[in-house]
Amino acid sequence: MQRQNETAPSTNIRTLESVALSATSSAAVASHGWVGRHDKKAADAAATEAMRRVLADAPGRGTVVIGEGEKDEAPMLFNGETVGNGQGVEFDIAVDPLEGTSFCAKNLPGSMATISFAESGTMWSPGPGFYMDKIVVPPQAKGLVDLADAPERTLGKVAKALGKQVGELRVVIMDKPRHQDLIKRVLKAGAAVHAPAEGDVGGSLEVLLPTGPADLLLGIGGTPEGVMTAAAVRALGGDMLGRLAPQRNEEAEAIRAAGMDLERIYTCDELVGGGALFAATGVTGGALLSEPRDSDGAILTESLLISSGEVRRVSHTTFGSMPRMTP
């Protein structure tokens, strides 16, 4: 059922659902061969190339508005790259072929292949900005939060909207040195903190999904992950705010040189302004999605598809066997 105040994707965008699922499933299977091998760049490269092959045959013409990899010199689908067979709709793409590269490399739960599609010209491009400060909240707290607020005030607003005490809240904040003070303040206010080592798309899904265990996400993560998250937020009627948060002087200088305002707060509708969909497929398993597995000559994957106000859990079968890496 579509949620109130939600903008539904156009019919054209919905025709890309099968492409999104095929892209993430292929990337998940390709990277799964690198699970536990402590080579996150090789895993990311395998996911990226598998996803690129699927997108090359997508109906229409897609533009990668924001890709993953440039900020850490990893393999990537690069910004401005065009994909598709040129026959059909035009669309924008935000992509992270392997979110949680370290989880994959170390065989820890939580890594997944992710992608978002949106109507052409509606995805925000951060230019040289690789990191952003974010707040993600569920539909009940929509329109109530502000990045300019102190975290204690944000906790109070969200708790009230959810009919909870602050001490009942569970907040997702990535376990990074830059978040030490934020985590201390949230804990001192009485809320519980879930602090994954990486993976703020997964953390945002924990907030947005109706059965998710978290109440809000705070902190600085990647801009690719932010734009992909905005597509899911928009589809599910939640709320999100973002602001560029450069982590190096060179990044800040490049943002200013591009004429962008480091103080500007972007709304969810500014990050993704049209109909959108989001897809993710599990790589190493975990609470959200199971990992790919062999079954009687076929590979089974589990995906989430978020589109038109719905969350669907999709099983995908590919005939063949899982890739095996040999020395």
Alpha-carbon span 262 to 295, nearest angstrom = 50
For 293, phi then psi, to 5°, come to -150, 150
Q: Is 125 exposed, middle or buried (0-12, 13-18, 19+ CB in 10 A)?
A: middle
Residue 56 · residue 83 · CB < 8 Å: yes
Determine the 3-state secondary structure of 315 from DSSP: strand
Alpha-carbon span 96 to 181, nearest angstrom = 28
Alpha-carbon span 264 to 130, nearest angstrom = 15
**117: closest CA among 141, 90, 99, 151?**
90
251 is in an annotated binding site: no
Residue 22 · residue 283 · CB < 8 Å: no
Q: Is 29 exposed, middle or buried (0-12, 13-18, 19+ CB in 10 A)?
A: buried
Determine the 3-state secondary structure of 90 from DSSP: strand
96 is in an annotated binding site: yes
Helix and strand numbers, DSSP H then E, in the chain: 10, 14
99 is in an annotated binding site: yes
Which pair of structure tokens corresponds to residue 80?
């401005």
Q: Residues annotated as binding site?
A: 44, 68, 96, 99, 225
Q: Residues annotated as binding site for Mn(2+)?
A: 44, 68, 96, 99, 225
